[in-house]
Structure 1
Amino acid sequence: MEGRAGLSASDHDHPPFAFSTRFRVDLADTDAGGVVYFGRYGRYLERAVFEYRRAAGVPVLGEPGHQFMVRSMTVEYHAPLRFEDEIEAFVRVSAVGTTSHAMDVRFERIDAHGAVHVADARAVVVGVESWDGGGATPMPAAWREAIEAFEARTH
């Protein structure tokens, strides 16, 4: 898996994305019809978001006192993916609040003819005191600054 920063998605009516990473569809991700099962996009979003956080210098899972939990996730599908398809996932933080942030991911299939837009996903992620309990906590200033600096490279 490789990551690239400061990229624009191929469809120019979308704002630029701060980061992208590529990976392939695994056989276990497909259903009886030979296409990626819709529920797997949550795994793809997580994979792309983790790579983004690594590149931005933010702890992948957060840390005690502000651990990341997905509050909501939406996916809009545009085209199918199949076993061995190469995917490029474009990632950006589209909003940062006091305790949460929104991650947008655009998935494109890469082939000999170029890129095909296959799906868009969004996760709203909240930081909590601990995974065992406790309420929402403010994002550490250093993480907020790291995200803002990483995102600023695309503008």
Structure 2
Amino acid sequence: MPRRPAGGVPSGNGGVEGLTSPWLVDFPFAHRQRVRYGETDLQGVVYYANYLLFAEVGRVAYLRALGVVYDRDFIARGLDFTIGEARVRYRAPLRFDDEYDIKVRVGAIRHSSWAFEYAIDRADGVHCAEASTIQVMIDRVTGRATRIPDELLKLLEDVRGSGAHPHDERVRS
């Protein structure tokens, strides 16, 4: 199971001045992306459902940066997780070729589920959306909810409590 990494540079509030909402500060991890043409709609802005794909990209990058290896830490143990709930609040549009950061942090943690919270901010600092997903740990054989393994639970609690993360990743893909 992964270990809690040390060090890192907080992603902050994306350069937007005067933000006080807890949704917009204290995101320990940021993953840089660029809007692809196929992610936009007829109005020339990112199609609304794609923000959930952006959340997935951020979630996978964050787990990877924390040292979580999907096959080793879930599949090999007969576990998996599913998304039990997903929410998005739109604030400003993203358009083709805009660079943006998917910022991620751990939210509430329960026995068999945990939340990730996301801020999606254009590279120029404009806050475009906030989102959240609730991951439910499941047994791969029965498909039923099961407890989060102790090692993962400790990792999630550690990074949530300290705001620690491996680094402020700015990957361009």
TM-score by length of 1: 0.86
State the alpha-carbon separation in 2 of the partners of residues 150 and 40 from structure 1.
Answer: 27
Tell me which of 63, 82, 89 is aligned to 2:74. 63
- Structure 1 vs Structure 2 CA RMSD: 1.9
Q: Does 2:27 match 1:27? A: no
In the TM superposition, residue 60 of structure 1 has moved relative to its aligned partner by 4.1
Higher strand share: 1
Higher RCO (CA < 8 A, seq sep 6+): 2
Instruction: Encode CA deviations 1:24-52: one digit per residue, 9 max, x unaligned.
Output: 00111001111000011111000000011
Unmatched segments (≥5 aa) in structure 2: 1-7, 165-173
Q: Secondary structure at the match of 1:38?
A: coil
Residue type matched to 1:24 in 2?
A: R
8 Å contact from structure 1 (residues 78, 118) kept in 2: yes
Unmatched segments (≥5 aa) in structure 1: none
Q: Does 2:62 match 1:52? A: yes
State the alpha-carbon separation in 2 of the partners of residues 47 and 16 from structure 1.
Answer: 19
Per the alignment, residue 119 of structure 1 pairs with: 129
What aligned pairs does 1:140-155 form with structure 2 within 5 A after superposition? 140-154=149-163
Per the alignment, residue 107 of structure 1 pairs with: 120
State the alpha-carbon separation in 2 of the partners of residues 19 and 12 from structure 1.
Answer: 19
Alignment length, in residue pairs?
A: 148
Residue type matched to 2:47 in 1?
A: Y
Tell me which of 7, 12, 27 is aligned to 2:11. 7
Instruction: Encode CA deviations 1:119-138: one digit per residue, 9 max, x unaligned.
Output: 000101101111x6421011
State the alpha-carbon separation in 2 of the partners of residues 5 and 66 from structure 1.
Answer: 32
In the TM superposition, residue 101 of structure 1 has moved relative to its aligned partner by 0.4
Q: Does 2:111 match 1:98? A: yes
What aligned pairs does 1:70-85 form with structure 2 within 5 A after superposition? 70-85=83-98
Q: Secondary structure at the match of 2:42?
A: coil
In the TM superposition, residue 56 of structure 1 has moved relative to its aligned partner by 1.4
State the alpha-carbon separation in 1 of the partners of residues 133 and 97 from structure 2.
Answer: 25
Q: Secondary structure at the match of 2:143?
A: strand
8 Å contact from structure 1 (residues 58, 146) kept in 2: no
TM-score by length of 2: 0.78
Instruction: Encode CA deviations 1:115-154: one digit per residue, 9 max, x unaligned.
Output: 0000000101101111x64210111111111222333442
State the alpha-carbon separation in 2 of the partners of residues 57 and 99 from structure 1.
Answer: 20
